[in-house]
Chain A
Amino acid sequence: MNPLRFTRRNLLRGGLAATAAIPLLNARRAIGDAAAPKRFVVIHTPNGTRNALFWPTGSEKSFTLNQITTPLEPYKSKLTFLKGIKLNDSLQNGALGGTLGSEHARGTGGMLTARPLNAGKDFVSFGNTTSGWGSGQSLDQYLASKLAPPTKFKSLQLGVHVRDTEVRARISYTGSNQPVPPREDPKDVFTTLFGGAPSTPGGMTDPAVARLWAQRKSVFDLMGGETQRLMGLVGAEDRIKLDAHLTAMRDVEQRLVGTPGTGNGTGTGTGVMCSPPTLAAADLAVDDQYLQAGRAQMDLAAAALACDQTRILTFQWSYSESEHLFQFLKVNNAAISGNHHAISHDFASSGSNYLAYNAIQTWYAEQVAYFLGKLDSYREGDRTLLDNTVVLWATEIGESTQHDLTLMPYVLAGSAGGAFSTGRYLDFSGARKDNNQLLVSIARAVGATELNSFGDASGATGPLSVLT
């Protein structure tokens, strides 16, 4: 029952050795296939930013990266800085629900839903309320359902040291009050992605595995039927809950019940582009091993996309309002001793915490750069996997000392196969746009072409035309 202990040091190495022999997976496309799929990736890093060191300087097409985003320099031509996105009025305005939850919680639950949080029902002392959970579907889950990609995972949620299970730790929702928890243990992720039953030479399935699949199928059929039967007996609200359960069962059934004759139920296994990563060990209980745990999860995320195991992926670093420690970083030759959230509220413009915050933000940018580099290393015709993806790098608040929600430090990477024009620093902060419009644009770019509005009705509709 101790979530920090699930993965112990060295487990990874040993665990992975047993599966090292599995064959290359199901890249359905040969290299050079121009019709490569489009993907959507969200990277969340916590605790906002410092505007003065985040936004580039210069003009739209000719700009210089600022201190915090310097690590992204190699991918500059593939980036779009979006200076001018605000969360919509339902997340800002008290009359519309915008006082539900702290800004950290609202910016987390509203990031991909563009909706206010649900009310917490009680907690009205002193004239205010704290929040319940997200009040609607997030964009990643909307796309997973709408586009229904033919991949092993309709969507994948990964996290690094998320640990927390409160509102501030969930960005993905299948519906109101239906948060989707991330997978945090690289060993579990590896097994889930690449630990499927190996096919025997000649493409035959191990008979014992085929038998397990058949039994799983029987149980799925029986319990799916039973769930449906119960849906007819409960009230409307509980029916929504059982329906979500049924949907989840159908989602996992297609990957837990393989097709005899295939490797792991995911395809024909002729691809050459992708292979499971080799992971280093990481102790998930130790803040000092953040980089190691993060690398493992990023390697898995990149492989999952390259192997076309999923096309929709969210990736969370810690949780919003994170108190993660960064003793492994130094400023002025001294290890950073404070926690990230505390440091993020030190608004002095100099001093050790000022430097520490900048160092932490830059470290996160380095991680984003590492991940973008991974994606960019996969060739897909005359493009790269990164080109065929739209990555949204987001955080739950803007200027960290202000808990600002009116100027979100969002950056896009990749063009979704040319749908977006990149290498730009867009500054529309004089006429800010709702996050709803950004979500519509992303949805259209990756295939939900008819979508015109997303999220709360208080938000603006239509796409963010400046992106294309």
Chain B
Amino acid sequence: MSNAGGPGSAGSAGAGASPPTGIVGVNQPLPSAETCSKDLNVERTPLRRLTRTEYTNSVRDLLNVNVTATADLPADEVTNGFDNNAAVLTVSSLHAEKYVLVSEALAKLAVQNLSALTAGCDTVAKGEDACALAFAKSFGRRAFRRPTTAEDERQLLAAYAAGRSGGSYAEGIEVMLRAALQSPNFLYRLELTPATDATAKRVPLSQFELASRLSYLIWGSGPDDALLDSAARGELASKEQVAAKARALLATPKARSAIGSFFEQWTSTRRLAITTKSSSLFPGFSNDLRDAMAKELPAFVSDVLWNGDGRLSTLLTAPIAFVSGPLAQIYGVKATPSSDGTPVKVALPANQQRAGLLTQAGVMSVQGHPDQTSPVLRGKFVRAMLLCQPPPPPPADVDISLPSVDEGATARLRFAAHESAGASCAGCHKLMDPIGLAFEHYDAIGQYREQDNGQALDVSGEILGAPDAGLTGAFNGPAELAAKLANSSQVRACVATQWFRFASGRTEGSEDACSLASMQQAFTTANGDIIDLIVATTQTDAFWYRPQVAP
């Protein structure tokens, strides 16, 4: 049988295709201003299915009900660290089943407050049919993120009729809701506005489509009525208008969890939910502790972005923690718990050499093993996610032995085996281990320790093989490492690239070079201000256009 093909295997991403040679701004030069002044092609983003997070946020905003039912949806597949890579966001039978059942659970809850849901449409005064049509238009517009078409309304009213016939008005609305939430117009972020110029390589998005990109970028949810109204009034016509709208959305509370979600995935702390630790070695790693760790990163990011200077360098260096529950104990600090359980900001003792999110207990926990620390994983995290130089997998045909915890040996001694194993191991491990070993003061759940196996720790290290010359060289301890990273142009370029991947739901391609370059430059000009980076995303060709694709 032959079934090559399928989304993703086609085109340049196919197995065996010659891969690109680097990352713009990291180990590839930026394109010239002249190159970027032309009308360029744009890369294709595969059709984006809502992630479970986006689905959850969207129904929360649409229905204003308890949305815990969405936890029944399958977890999204993670590609290169992010759960929103459109290439693999497909609908399996399991998804299809849960879309039905979850929509039924949500619709049932929503119609319990029918008057609020339908904006008080008076079925006696106006008639049920008129109210149902009005609801199809208003709800359909928000659910599909554009004005409804006659065909949309026909479908929604047909679903309504399946509930109303032999039932009640409320049941009709309930079935209409189920249909809307099972509609591909809701489940996918469709961008189908036809091209006005059939010969152009790229197609500008409609303002409704821009509104949708903006809201999922910044809120992780669909646009609200106000944003849709802006699109309808033509207020998203210029880049200045879109930048201003982006800043307005970023100022609302909804932005915080959505932007936090990027950082959770970038650092892998999202994996706390599936992280286990040895109960005999780390009896303190309780569900409460895991929850407290999971809450820390978004609280910290929120504080820096919205109460602080907003800079990447602060995220990478500030010796502060946000503690709740048993987390204060992990850091060895005292904090008066807040009344509502939100994490409390505390300064960390200088001797711990804590450095922003890099040394957070949650980050140290996920970049590790259930039973021991992992200098390799910690070093790999810095290499892959901060330097954009992910090491390859171990070579074939070598004995691959992970050092076991022997009495009396520090990790540094145990990992010297990578060096002595010869070039096949040492070549890559020297890029990771000397970085990862800097974090050895933090055990597998992020607690500070002076010793490992009874021996004093040596946390000196070295960054090798980084294109940024300022990054290369020796350092001593996590704080010095963090300072190097915080001042690096490569790290800034890399973080902008990681954000681009998250923002666009795909890996960058060669046609993205100018968009990426403009984001990196804006990020640098703004001294690493994250909010400015996010706004810069909305100014790129990659954000404003889609490629012309023949149906």
Contacts and interface: CB of A to CB of B under 8 A. Distances in A.
B175 A219 contact: yes
Contacts of A233: 192, 551
A327 B92 contact: no
Contacts of A218: 158-159, 162, 175, 179
A118 to B, nearest CB: 5
A125 interface: yes
B273 A1 contact: yes
Contacts of A347: 399, 401
A97 B188 CA distance: 31
Contact of B278 (A136, A154, A241, A325): A325
A248 B93 contact: yes
A342 B46 CA distance: 37
A223 B15 contact: no
Interface string B298-309: 000000000000
B32 interface: no
Given A121-B13, A122-B508, A454-B1, A241 B88 contact: no
Interface in B274-310: 274, 276, 278-281, 287
A137 interface: yes
A331 B281 CA distance: 17
Interface in B337-385: 369-372
Nearest to A117: B15
Interface string B181-220: 0111100101010000000000000000000000000000
B14 A242 contact: no
A60 interface: no
Interface centre among A115, A236, A241, A457 (most CB of B within 10 A): A241
Contact of B276 (A118, A215, A225, A285): A285
Contact of A178 (B10, B92, B184): B92
Contact of B6 (A119, A177, A324, A403): A177
Contact of B53 (A1, A121, A236): A1
Interface string B63-93: 0000000011011111110010001101111
A252 B402 contact: no
A119 to B, nearest CB: 6
Interface size class of A (residues with CB under 8 A): 35 or more
B488 interface: no
Given A235-B551, A248-B92, A339 B390 contact: no
A135 B4 contact: yes
Contact of A132 (B13, B92, B97): B13
Contacts of A128: 392-393
A467 interface: no
Given A179-B77, A223-B184, A337-B281, A245 B90 contact: yes
Nearest to A245: B91
A345 interface: yes
Contacts, number: 318
B120 interface: no
Contact of B279 (A227, A245, A288): A288
B21 to A, nearest CB: 6
A10 interface: no
Contacts of A19: none
Contacts of A163: 274
B27 A125 contact: yes
Nearest to A353: B404
A116 B8 CA distance: 13
A177 B155 contact: no
B19 A121 contact: yes
Contacts of B72: 6, 188
A237 B394 CA distance: 33
Contacts of B507: 120-122
Given A166-B78, A178-B6, A226 B159 contact: no
Interface in B1-55: 1-17, 19-23, 27, 44, 46-47, 49, 52-53
B400 interface: yes
B326 interface: no
A427 interface: no
Given A135-B4, A285-B276, A130 B390 contact: yes
Given A137-B3, A226-B184, A325 B91 contact: no
B509 interface: yes
B178 interface: yes
Nearest to B167: A211
Nearest to A399: B399
A345 B509 contact: no
A133 B79 contact: yes
A101 B184 contact: no
A387 to B, nearest CB: 28
B3 A177 contact: no
B226 interface: no
Given A240-B5, A240-B7, A242-B47, A127 B92 contact: no
Nearest to A256: B100
Contacts of A229: 151
A115 B549 CA distance: 29
B392 A129 contact: yes
Interface in B138-188: 151, 155, 158-159, 162-163, 166-167, 175, 178-179, 182-185, 188
23 contacts: A2-B71, A118-B15, A126-B465, A129-B19, A129-B392, A132-B87, A175-B3, A177-B7, A180-B94, A181-B74, A215-B175, A216-B100, A222-B155, A237-B44, A240-B5, A240-B6, A242-B184, A244-B90, A248-B96, A323-B370, A345-B402, A346-B401, A402-B400
Given A223-B182, A230-B184, A235-B549, 14 more contacts: A119-B14, A124-B19, A126-B392, A128-B392, A135-B9, A165-B75, A177-B6, A219-B178, A223-B155, A248-B93, A288-B279, A337-B278, A401-B401, A403-B394
Interface of A: 1-6, 90, 96-97, 99-103, 105, 115-130, 132-133, 135-137, 142, 154, 157, 163-166, 170, 174-181, 183, 188, 192, 211, 214-216, 218-219, 222-223, 225-227, 229-230, 232-242, 244-245, 248-249, 251-252, 256, 285-288, 323-325, 327, 335, 337-339, 341-343, 345-347, 353, 401-403, 451, 453-454, 457
Q: Which 5 A-B pairs have the closest CB atoms?
A: A176-B6, A128-B392, A235-B549, A177-B8, A102-B393
